[in-house]
Amino acid sequence: MRRPIFLVVLAVMLVISCAQQVGIDNPLLSEFDTPFGVPPFEEIKEAHYVPAFQEGIRMHNEEIAAIVEDTESPTFENTIAAMEGSGRLLDSVASIFFSLNSANTNEEMQAIAKEIAPLLAAHGDNIALNSDLFQKVKTVYLQKDDLGLNTEQNKVLTDYYKNFIRGGADLGGEDKATLREINQELSVLSLQFGENILKETNRFELIIDNEKDLAGLPEASIVGAAETATSRGYEGKWVFTTSKPSMVPFIQYAENRDLREKIYKAYINRGDNDDEFDNKKILSRMAALRVKKANLLGYETHAHFILEQGMAKNPANVYIFLDKIWLPALAKAKEERAMMQKMIDDEGDDFKLQSWDWWYYAEKVKKVKYDLDEEMIKPYFQLDNVINGAFAVANKLWGITFEERTDIPKYHPDVKTFEVKEADGTHIGILLADYFPRESKRGGAWCGTYRQQCRIDGKMITPIVNNVGNFQKPTADKPALLTWDDVLTLFHEFGHGLHNLLSAGTYPSVTATNVATDFVELPSQIMENWAGEPEVLAMYATHYETGEVIPEELVTKMKNASKFNQGFAATEYLAASYLDMDWHTLRDTVEQDVDDFETASLSRIGLIPEIISRYRSTYYRHIFTSGYSAGYFSYMWAEVLDADAFQAFKEAGIFDQELAQSFRVNILAAGGSEDPMTLYKKFRGKEPGIEPLLKKRGLI
Positions marked catalytic: 493
CB 365 within 8 A of CB 343: yes
Three-state SS at 466: strand
Alpha-carbon dihedral sign for residues 532, 533, 539, 541: positive
Q: Which of 554, 451, 479, 627 is nearest to 31 (CA)?
A: 451
Contacts of 547 (CB under 8 A, 6+ apart): none
Torsion angle of the four alpha carbons 295, 298, 303, 304, in this order, in degrees rounded to the nearest 10: 150
Could you tell me which residues are beta bridge partners of residue 280?
none
Q: Which amino acid is at 582?
A: D
d(CA 44, CA 32): 11
Nearest to 465 by CA among 67, 99, 94: 99
Question: Exposure string (b/e) for 439-450, b if CB count within 10 Å is 16 or more?
Answer: ebbbbbbbbbbb
Q: Residue 321: which of 331, 311, 332 has the closest Cα?
A: 311
Nearest alpha carbon to residue 34 among 403, 408, 404: 408
Angle at 438 between CA 257 and CA 361, to 5 degrees: 20
Radius of gyration of the chain (CA): 25
Instruction: Tell the burial category of 524 from Cβ atoms under 10 Å away from its Cβ (0-12, 13-18, 19+).
Output: buried
For helices 358-370 and 244-253, what crossing angle results, to 10°? 60
Helix 173-203, helix 107-128: angle, nearest 10: 160
CA atoms of 93 and 82, how far apart (whole Å) = 20
SS3 sequence of 271-334? CCCCCCCCCHHHHHHHHHHHHHHHHHCCCCCHHHHHHCCCCCCCHHHHHHHHHHHHHHHHHHHH
Closest CA to 674 of 141, 80, 156: 156
Which positions ≥6 away from 496 have C-beta within 8 Å?
446, 447, 467, 513, 520, 523, 524
The answer to whether 430 and 419 are in contact (CB under 8 A) is yes
Transcribe 521-550 into DSSP letters: THHHHHHHHHHT-HHHHHHH-B-TTT-PBP
CA separation, residue 402 to residues 420, 433, 463, 505 (Å): 5, 12, 14, 22
Number of residues written out for the chain: 700
